């Protein structure tokens, strides 16, 4: 500023001296006035020129490039430039935090929709698209109720009571693939709303399964219990002969045994669900498992032979090379998977037919296979066989002591051992149930 003042005074002095000393036709004081006037015009033009340069620089596309100006105008331009630079970096920083914040909301497993006070969509994430079909670009400024067109949601909005969530059908809901979405609104700010959505299809399905399971268990226990109570009442009220008593006791024992088997299978299932996966640290002699499965099968066949006169051609086949092997995991679980399959084959194969149990090594796997030439299973039942209490032939299953839980147990056991259950069957031709074990579960016995 002082420099500018000196500058100004210097030029005035120069004009005054020039007007006073230079020879010309007018008087000295007139010369001084002309000198001052000329200098003022010069300074005015100079300042205007500098102002125009400054304005041009302000209009320039790259304002961060310093203007070629000095003095006060240069200083002003430099300050403006620094201010703009500072604002720019502040803006960048806040844009970056906004971007990170939005990408965090994008990653959320919940659908998020921001709504203005008039229920127009302001912003939504990708999950909201999956749940509610909202397009984050196309549907901005659209009325949410207009987009969802869901009567339950509309009355929720009209009620204004948002303490609880509501459940609506999802955008991808189909008969074979139901989708249930929980939606809740959270008002905030001046009338704005945050809408959160959650896919609760799996939860709902689990709840339905739980209810079905309880109903099935109650039904399975009630039937033998009713028979048992009936016999007890009969024996209490009627005077029966010794042989009648014996028959009734025999029937009662059968029903009690049925309930016992059911409870045993339920406990096995709950143990399979609740206990840690069997590791690879415990190794068991495969031959022992094989022999115990063989002995159990023989005993069952003999029992059914005595009871129903069942005659089967039962064969156990294991290659010599696979005898000296060990298997890792839970021997109890593996034994129960083997005997479930063998017992099913014996129970669902009519007299005169064949059941072959074999153990073989494939490329990357070991397979326990039970082939029978029994009743076979129609294709529509195959995918449901491992569901709890699913039976193709209910009365045959019950008559032969089935609980409807055997294959569910087998499937669980195999999953826990990193293997799988494969089922191939043709109605009236027979079935092949295969337990596929990964190679890592078997090794040659250490000597």
Residue count (the chain):
447
Q: Which of 121, 185, 293, 377 binds ligand ADP (CB under 6 A)?
A: 377
Query: 278: how many CB neighbours lie within 10 A of its CB?
Result: 19
- Find out whether 53 and 73 touch, Cβ atoms under 8 Å: yes
Smallest distance, Å, CB 392 to ligand ADP? 3
Candidate segments 75-83, 144-152, 308-316, 371-379, binder of ligand ADP by CB under 6 A: 371-379
| Side-chain half-sphere CA neighbours of 376 within 13 A | 11
Distant-in-sequence, close-in-space partners of 128: CB < 8 Å, separation ≥ 6: 111, 112, 113, 134, 136, 195, 197
Q: Which of 15, 35, 278, 374 binds ligand ADP (CB under 6 A)?
A: 374
Q: Is 385 in the site for ligand ADP (CB under 6 A)?
A: yes
What residues from 389 to 408 belong to the interface with ligand ADP (CB under 6 A)? 391-393, 397, 402-408
Distant-in-sequence, close-in-space partners of 95: CB < 8 Å, separation ≥ 6: none
Smallest distance, Å, CB 384 to ligand ADP? 9
Residue closer to ligand ADP (CB basis): 268 or 344 = 344
Smallest distance, Å, CB 322 to ligand ADP? 24
| Side-chain half-sphere CA neighbours of 80 within 13 A | 17
Alpha-carbon distance of 44 to 15, in angstroms, equals 14
Smallest distance, Å, CB 260 to ligand ADP? 14
Residue closer to ligand ADP (CB basis): 51 or 308 = 308
Query: 107: how many CB neighbours lie within 10 A of its CB?
Result: 10
Smallest distance, Å, CB 401 to ligand ADP? 8
217 closest CA partner among 205, 209, 229: 209
For residue 48, CA distances in Å to 43, 68, 174 come to 9, 16, 75
Alpha-carbon distance of 197 to 132, in angstroms, equals 8
Per-residue contact flags (x/-) with ligand ADP for residues 322 to 341, judged by CB under 6 A: ------------------x-
Pair of tokens at residue 319: 């290659």
Residue closer to ligand ADP (CB basis): 125 or 397 = 397
Residue closer to ligand ADP (CB basis): 50 or 344 = 344
Pair of tokens at residue 1: 């500023």
Cα 154 vs. chain centroid, distance in angstroms? 28
Residue closer to ligand ADP (CB basis): 365 or 386 = 386
Phi-psi region of 69 (alpha: psi -120 to 50; beta: other; left: phi over 0): beta
Q: Which of 326, 372, 435, 441 binds ligand ADP (CB under 6 A)?
A: 372
Per-residue contact flags (x/-) with ligand ADP for residues 338 to 367, judged by CB under 6 A: --x---xx--x-------------------
For residue 383, CA distances in Å to 16, 379, 431 come to 111, 8, 14
Smallest distance, Å, CB 258 to ligand ADP? 11
What residues from 46 to 75 belong to the interface with ligand ADP (CB under 6 A)? none
Smallest distance, Å, CB 366 to ligand ADP? 21
User: E-strand spans in 224-281?
Assistant: none
What residues from 406 to 435 belong to the interface with ligand ADP (CB under 6 A)? 406-408, 431
Smallest distance, Å, CB 116 to ligand ADP? 56
Binding residues (CB under 6 A) for ligand ADP: these are 340, 344-345, 348, 372, 374-375, 377, 385, 391-393, 397, 402-408, 431
């Amino acid at each position: 500023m002082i420099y500018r003042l000196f500058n100004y005074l210097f030029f005035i002095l120069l004009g005054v001296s020039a007007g006073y000393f230079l020879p010309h036709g007018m008087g000295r004081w007139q010369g001084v006035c002309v000198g001052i006037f000329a200098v003022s015009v010069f300074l005015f033009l100079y300042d205007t020129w500098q102002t125009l340069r400054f304005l041009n620089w302000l209009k320039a596309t790259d304002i961060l490039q310093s203007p070629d100006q000095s003095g006060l105008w240069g200083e002003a331009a430099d300050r403006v430039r620094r201010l703009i630079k500072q604002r720019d970096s502040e803006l960048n920083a806040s844009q970056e935090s906004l971007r990170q914040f939005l990408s965090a909301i994008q990653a959320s497993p919940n659908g998020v929709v921001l709504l203005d006070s008039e229920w127009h969509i302001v912003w939504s994430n990708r999950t909201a698209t999956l749940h509610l079909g909202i397009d984050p670009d196309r549907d901005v400024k659209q009325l949410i109720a207009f987009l969802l067109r869901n009567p339950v949601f509309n009355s929720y909005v009209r009620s204004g009571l948002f303490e609880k969530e509501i459940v609506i059908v999802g955008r991808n809901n189909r008969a074979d693939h139901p989708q249930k979405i929980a939606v809740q609104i959270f008002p905030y700010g001046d009338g704005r709303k945050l809408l959160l959505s959650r896919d609760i299809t799996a939860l709902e399905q689990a709840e339905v399964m739980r209810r079905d399971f309880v109903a099935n268990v109650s039904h399975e226990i009630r039937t033998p219990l009713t028979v048992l109570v009936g016999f007890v009442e009969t024996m209490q009220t009627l005077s029966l002969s010794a042989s009648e008593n014996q028959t009734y006791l025999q029937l009662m024992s059968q029903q009690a045994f049925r309930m016992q088997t059911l409870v045993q299978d339920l406990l096995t299932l709950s143990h399979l669900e609740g206990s840690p996966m069997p590791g690879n640290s415990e190794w068991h002699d495969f031959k022992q498992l094989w022999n115990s499965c063989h002995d159990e099968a023989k005993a069952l066949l003999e029992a059914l032979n005595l009871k129903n006169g069942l005659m089967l051609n039962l064969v156990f086949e294991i290659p010599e090379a696979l005898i000296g092997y060990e298997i890792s995991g839970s021997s109890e679980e593996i034994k129960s998977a083997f005997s479930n399959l063998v017992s099913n084959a014996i129970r669902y194969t009519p007299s005169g037919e064949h059941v072959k149990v074999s153990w073989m090594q494939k490329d990357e796997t070991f397979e326990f296979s039970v082939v029978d030439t029994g009743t076979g299973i129609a294709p529509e039942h195959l995918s449901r066989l491992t569901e709890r209490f699913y039976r193709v032939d209910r009365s045959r299953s019950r008559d032969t002591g089935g609980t409807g839980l055997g294959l569910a147990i087998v499937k669980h056991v195999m999953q826990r051992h990193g293997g799988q259950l494969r089922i191939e069957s043709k109605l009236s031709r027979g079935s092949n149930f295969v337990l596929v074990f990964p190679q890592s579960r078997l090794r040659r016995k250490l000597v």
